[in-house]
Structure 1
């Protein structure tokens, strides 16, 4: 059984990657999070792009643990804000990871933007770094629009205000399986599957 480190302390991301691997029939890989390995100094996310941040996190984790490591950096790019909050999504309101404050600030900022100009996309870059230094970086995008009020309780972050293209429900109103099938992170992680299958010896 190959151990694969997902460089996150976010339990929901761990569950998501495990679900995707299971759904795709990838066995022989045990996905563990940062809580399952000895602590190491994690570099701050200072990259200008999702790809830079994801690669830095995965490379740090692979170097420190000797395990193959996956990391993702994701966020919401809003057309009316010229692609922001983008890489600043998790700390848009100033405090890192305050989902409600981030969401409230964003809704306030585009309050006057008409419905037809409220386009946005969730973006996820995922990086896989092997102990030998081999790097794979991929990107998944999930286009949609930002609605005016929160709906749903299944998601986190900006999910309650994001309606994916072709949907009437917000990302927070979708089931976990529906979200995995279509989400930006699901799309990015699936692009890593060929390398993950090799790791699993499949």
Structure 2
């Protein structure tokens, strides 16, 4: 008998691309997206993703400053395409920097900007689609066309009860890709937000 697999369900506390805490409701993983503390002054388009050890319980929590970011997203506002570079940190290996346009490629030459594929750290290719699968805002599909993750916004008519209602769900067998999924989703949401 196969054990029951529980997906990672991250509550996106703010729903903003520019910064939020993503806490798994089963308290297995906590991710934080914030403006990068080492970006040049006045540059508010550089964000870092941190894997936190525990849930953030207060405003102004700065524990992430004691950690190495997992990913740095450097958006190039005003540059061609509006996208910059994504830098992944894979200790103990050196960091890897890739232009976002090369990291997230359109699925079809003349296709829309909101369907893109990326190669994850497991060497396999996945793709994001916007409002294409079962009513999800964003869906991440495997090469075999299996849904591995999805991002959903709280419907306006649904009560919030002290939570945002925005969730990123990652199926448990793909939990090792949470950082890849988060980085690629943030870029996709940025592309949609800025009509790139």
| TM-score, normalising length: structure 2 | 0.31
Q: Structure 1-normalised TM-score?
A: 0.30
In terms of fraction of residues, the more strand-rich structure is: 2
Q: Is the helix fraction higher in 1 or 2? A: 1
